[in-house]
């Protein structure tokens, strides 16, 4: 494993594919090898597996606006803000149920009201066998003792996790089938796979919820903790791989008991980057130094929150700073903006980014993107494509051309040469669909690394010839019968107006 990592760091692309396979077979051996790297090598390795086509390369913030003590106006206004920004919504379902009870509504009635205020994907957390989990006041009004203390977690300081009000949950069990209609993903805690813990539901209920979500076509998020940074971390990663989790959420902070917590958090991020291609690597809680290092190591998503919601203090603060009145979103945003400097997309990803991904997924169709669509063993797109494709945002978008119409054009006109201007996942999906009809594809991408990987990989896995153009778009247009601009970025499509290239937007 060590020699394979060295080869990857030297720039060998084929070795990256091999390391994914070997790492998935033995996450523990991979983690041991990661521990021998210095910080610079570890960050470099994580970034290599974050970039196209190995992992998701966007950086985003998921935000929870709902706290049990908030007014309905505050919550609804928060959702509207997130919709305007284009940030996904993470809802603690117990808080939705608490507020609904206070207003004389059912939990789903309130969720449905919130759903109408945003087109963005919604992720529901704290979801159990009967629907939203319900907790007693001493949990709901938790003053963040564990996060504020900065000490490794060895049980809730007041012994109150994971007490539940099961009777309240069962009272609305008839609504459990309604929740998948409003959300795009459901999150559970996988800490019970890692060690004896009072923090999560038992394994049986956890897997019941995972299967419930998957059977209804929803994405699944799973929260694991850094734990000891060794065996406990590996057990969590192995469980996520075994059960096909789409968004793997690593919690540090007091749930990081490793001797060097900053380093251990980064190792966990890189481990996930390598063994979970196509997945979103996220965090719901960590201290400021862990967050910075995690972003440097390839972290995608950070869960934050509005004041009154526990996610508001769990991300980006130093030990001793956490409190329930924090507004975590601005702090996390600033850390992310200062740390991630070279993203292909805005940092954090915004509404325009979401529209581009949603249009790309809608154009290719569910069968051609993650988690179904692949070229070889690599997913087309990632979990973001799946979530946005199945969101209200996608439903409201109109396309000027469908993939089926493009296929019909190529087949009916007997087109044998096609140009792919832009070599990312949209080009992969188009090439996969057209390869039964086309003899030769020319590929042009201004990022020569993307172009090279696309040409090499598609040549090995599709029944057509692929030729690189060295980033020369004019050559790509000139040499083919049908050049296609493989992007929904508005400015890029405008650039090719009048060139004879077919634009999708």
Write out pLDDT tens, residues 312-363. 999 999 998 988 888 999 999 999 999 999 898 999 999 999 999 999 999 9
400-403: long-range contacts, CB 8 A cutoff, minimum separation 24: 400/504, 400/505, 401/363, 401/502, 401/504, 402/363, 403/363, 403/364, 403/365, 403/368, 403/429, 403/430, 403/433
Mean pLDDT of the residues in the chain? 95
Q: Is the pLDDT confidence value at 51 over 80? A: yes
Question: Domain check: are 83 and 135 in the same one?
Answer: yes
Residue 85 lies in a domain: yes
Q: State the CATH number of the domain containing residue 239.
A: 3.20.20.70
Confidence of residue 49 (pLDDT cuts 50, 70, 90): very high
**Domain boundary, last residue among 379, 395, 411:** 395
Task: Please tell me the distance from the alpha carbon of residue 344 to that of residue 297, in angstroms, as a whole number.
Answer: 16
Question: Domain check: are 230 and 359 in the same one?
Answer: no
Question: Domain check: are 149 and 279 in the same one?
Answer: yes
Residue 42 lies in a domain: no
Is the pTM value of this prediction over 0.85? Answer: yes
Give the mean pLDDT of 273-287: 97
Query: Cβ-count burial of 282 within 10 angstroms (0-12 exposed, 13-18 middle, 19+ buried)?
Result: buried
Residue 63 lies in a domain: yes
Q: How many domains does the chain have?
A: 3
Task: Please tell me the distance from the alpha carbon of residue 437 to that of residue 288, in angstroms, as a whole number.
Answer: 53
Question: Domain check: are 100 and 171 in the same one?
Answer: yes
Question: Domain check: are 460 and 387 in the same one?
Answer: no
Residue 469 lies in a domain: yes
144, 310 Cβ separation under 8 angstroms: yes
Q: State the CATH number of the domain containing residue 421.
A: 3.40.50.720
Question: Domain check: are 136 and 215 in the same one?
Answer: yes
Question: Domain check: are 385 and 423 in the same one?
Answer: no
Question: Domain check: are 330 and 479 in the same one?
Answer: no
Question: Domain check: are 188 and 247 in the same one?
Answer: yes
Residue 16 lies in a domain: no
Domain that holds residue 386: 353-395
Q: From 121, 185, 191, select the one nearest 162 (Cα to Cα).
A: 191
Looking up tokens 């201007």, which residue turns up? 421
Question: Domain check: are 461 and 328 in the same one?
Answer: no
Q: What is the pLDDT of residues 411-443, one digit of tens each?
A: 999 999 999 999 999 999 999 999 999 999 999
Residue 320 lies in a domain: yes
Question: Domain check: are 438 and 386 in the same one?
Answer: no
- Of the chain, the percentage scoring pLDDT greater than 70 comes to 98
CB 233: neighbour CB atoms within 10 A? 27
290, 43 Cβ separation under 8 angstroms: no
Residue 5 lies in a domain: no
Query: Cβ-count burial of 157 within 10 angstroms (0-12 exposed, 13-18 middle, 19+ buried)?
Result: middle
Question: Domain check: are 77 and 144 in the same one?
Answer: yes
| 336 cis-preceded (ω within 30 degrees of 0) | no
**Domain boundary, last residue among 349, 383, 413:** 349
Bridge partners of 216, per DSSP, are none
pLDDT score, position 157: 56
Residue 34 lies in a domain: no
């Amino acid at each position: 494993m060590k020699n394979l990592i060295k080869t990857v760091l030297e720039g060998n692309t084929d070795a990256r594919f091999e390391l994914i396979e070997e790492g998935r077979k033995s996450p523990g051996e991979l983690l041991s090898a990661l521990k021998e790297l210095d910080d610079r090598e570890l960050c470099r390795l994580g970034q290599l597996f974050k970039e196209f086509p190995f992992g998701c390369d966007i950086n985003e913030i998921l935000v929870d606006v709902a706290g049990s003590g908030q007014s309905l106006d505050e919550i609804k206004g928060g959702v509207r803000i997130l919709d305007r920004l284009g940030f996904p919504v993470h809802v603690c379902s117990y808080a939705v149920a608490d507020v609904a009870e206070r207003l004389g509504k059912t939990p789903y009635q309130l969720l449905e009201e919130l759903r109408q205020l945003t087109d963005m994907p919604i992720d529901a957390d704290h979801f159990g066998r009967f629907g939203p989990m319900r907790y007693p006041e001493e949990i709901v009004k938790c003053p963040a003792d564990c996060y504020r203390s900065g000490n490794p977690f060895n049980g809730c300081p007041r012994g109150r996790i994971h007490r539940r009000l099961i009777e309240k949950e069962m009272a609305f069990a008839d609504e459990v089938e309604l929740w998948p209609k409003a959300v795009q993903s459901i999150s559970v805690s996988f800490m019970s796979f890692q060690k004896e813990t009072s923090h999560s539901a038992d394994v049986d209920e956890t897997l019941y919820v995972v299967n419930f979500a998957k059977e209804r076509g929803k994405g699944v998020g799973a929260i694991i903790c850094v734990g000891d940074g060794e065996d406990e971390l590996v057990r969590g990663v192995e469980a996520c791989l075994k059960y096909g989790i789409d968004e793997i959420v690593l919690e540090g902070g007091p749930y990081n008991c490793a001797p060097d917590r900053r380093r251990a958090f980064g190792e966990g991020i890189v481990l996930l980057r390598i063994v979970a291609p196509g997945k979103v690597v996220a965090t719901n809680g960590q201290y400021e130094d862990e967050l910075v290092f995690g972003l440097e190591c390839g972290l995608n998503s950070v869960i934050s929150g509005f004041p009154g919601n526990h996610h508001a203090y769990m991300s980006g603060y130093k030990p001793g700073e956490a409190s329930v009145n924090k507004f975590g979103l601005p702090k996390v945003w600033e850390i992310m903006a200062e740390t991630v400097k070279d993203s292909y997309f805005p940092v954090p990803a915004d509404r325009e980014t979401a529209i581009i991904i949603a249009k790309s997924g809608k154009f290719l169709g569910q069968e051609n993107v993650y988690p179904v669509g692949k070229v070889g063993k690599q997913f087309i797109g990632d979990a973001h494509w799946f979530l946005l494709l199945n969101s209200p945002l996608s439903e409201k978008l109109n396309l000027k051309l469908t993939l089926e119409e493009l296929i019909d054009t190529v087949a009916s006109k007997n087109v044998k040469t096609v140009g792919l201007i832009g070599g990312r996942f949209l080009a992969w999906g188009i090439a996969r669909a057209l390869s039964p009809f086309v003899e030769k594809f020319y590929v042009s991408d201004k990022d020569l690394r993307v172009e090279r990987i696309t040409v090499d990989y598609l040549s090995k896995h599709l029944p057509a010839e692929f030729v690189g153009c060295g980033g020369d778009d004019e050559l790509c247009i000139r040499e083919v019968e049908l050049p296609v601009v493989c992007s929904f970025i508005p400015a890029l499509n405008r650039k090719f107006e009048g060139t004879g290239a077919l634009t999708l937007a």
